[in-house]
Amino acid sequence: MNSRFRRMQESDITSIVKDLDRWAAGQLGSKLTWAVLEERFGFSRQSLQVKSEIKAAYDLAKKALAGGLVISRQKSAKDNEELEREIDRLKLEIVEFKRRETLWKQRWQRIAYHIRAKGIQMHDVDKPAGSIKGLPQESEVSKIIRSFDKEIPESGRV
């Protein structure tokens, strides 16, 4: 029996609709005709068209291809490459931010150590400057704090 005249099964319909969906997405090229489907699947045009799921998927794919809704493989590959480069760049940026955060934490641990070495309790650090005996006034504190508002040195030294 010639496979061209075999009976269409539900699995055939599912397979053809999936392929038509891929065509609509531009994955199988831009040339879509009933003749191409006949050759690809071994069913006549009439057998393919009579199935409403196949006809609907075919019409949708044709509209997508005709309306320029489909992105070419080259454009898609180019977009993917750009996105991969962006992902790689962002991963490196995250690594750099984590490195800087580690340096920042180390710096503030050293600051906390030196504050404790001066005999100041850590719970006193958050109090307003004027309320702790021996500390400078708010205006002087602002000047001191400004020196900590600069870039963290690359070498990790303070």
Q: Side-chain half-sphere of 17: how many Cα atoms within 13 Å?
A: 14
Say what the pLDDT of residue 106 is: 93
User: What is the structure's pLDDT at 158?
Assistant: 45
Instruction: Note the pLDDT tens digit of each residue in 106-142.
Output: 998 988 888 888 888 777 777 776 666 666 677 777 7
More confident residue, 20 or 68: 20
pLDDT of 45 > 70? The answer is yes
156: left (phi over 0), alpha (psi -120 to 50) or beta: left
**Residue 43: phi, psi to the nearest 5?**
-120, 155
Which is more confidently placed, 40 or 6? 40
Q: How far is CA 101 from CA 20, 104, 106, 113, 125, in A?
A: 51, 5, 9, 18, 21
Rg (Cα) of the chain, in Å, rounded? 34
- pLDDT at residue 7 above 90? no
% of the chain with per-residue pLDDT over 90: 33
- The C-alpha atoms of residue 73 and residue 70 are separated, in whole angstroms, by 9
Residue 17, pLDDT above cutoff 90: yes
Task: Output the pTM of the full model.
Answer: 0.43
Residue 153's pLDDT band (cuts 50, 70, 90): low
Maximum distance among all alpha carbons in the chain?
A: 103
